[in-house]
Amino acid sequence: MAHKHDDKYTYRVTWSEEDGEYIGLCSEFPSLSWLADSQEAALKGIRGVVAEVVADMVANHEAVPEPIAIRQFSGKFMVRIPPEVHRHLAMQAAEAGVSLNRLASAKLSQAA
């Protein structure tokens, strides 16, 4: 039975120097992975594992993670930082003539 989240999860394939193979990963299921000798096989493998896990979760009436790609994001989240970092950022924002929010948003955009 097809599930509404099939093929909408976020996958990544990267080289694992430690394993000497490519590793397939899924952002919504961080505990799962699949090792293979090619990028294509690693992607196919992790997609297969995720499909099995999702099918098992559905069969057991467990909540299935919603794909990141279809989630609605507000654009707001809280970040806790040390007071001295907060002070330093507030000074940077004041000196640049922008709000602390705009400064933080610009820094996060550069890091993404």
- Structure tokens given for 57: 């979760």
Q: Distance between CA 10 and CA 16 in Å, rounded?
A: 19
pLDDT tens-digit map of 50-86: 999 999 999 999 999 999 999 999 999 899 999 999 9
Provide the pLDDT for residue 111: 83
Query: What are the C-alpha distances in Å from 91 to residues 34, 88, 97, 101?
Result: 46, 5, 10, 13
pTM here is 0.72
Name the nearest CA neighbour of 12 among 26, 1, 33. 26
- Structure tokens given for 86: 């907060």
Binned at pLDDT 50, 70 and 90, residue 7 comes out as confident
Instruction: Please answer whether residues 21 and 37 qualify as being in contact, where contact means their C-beta atoms are separated by less than 8 angstroms.
Output: yes
Q: Distance between CA 57 and CA 76 in Å, rounded?
A: 30
Binned at pLDDT 50, 70 and 90, residue 94 comes out as very high
DSSP SS3 for 64? coil
pLDDT score of 1 more than 50: no
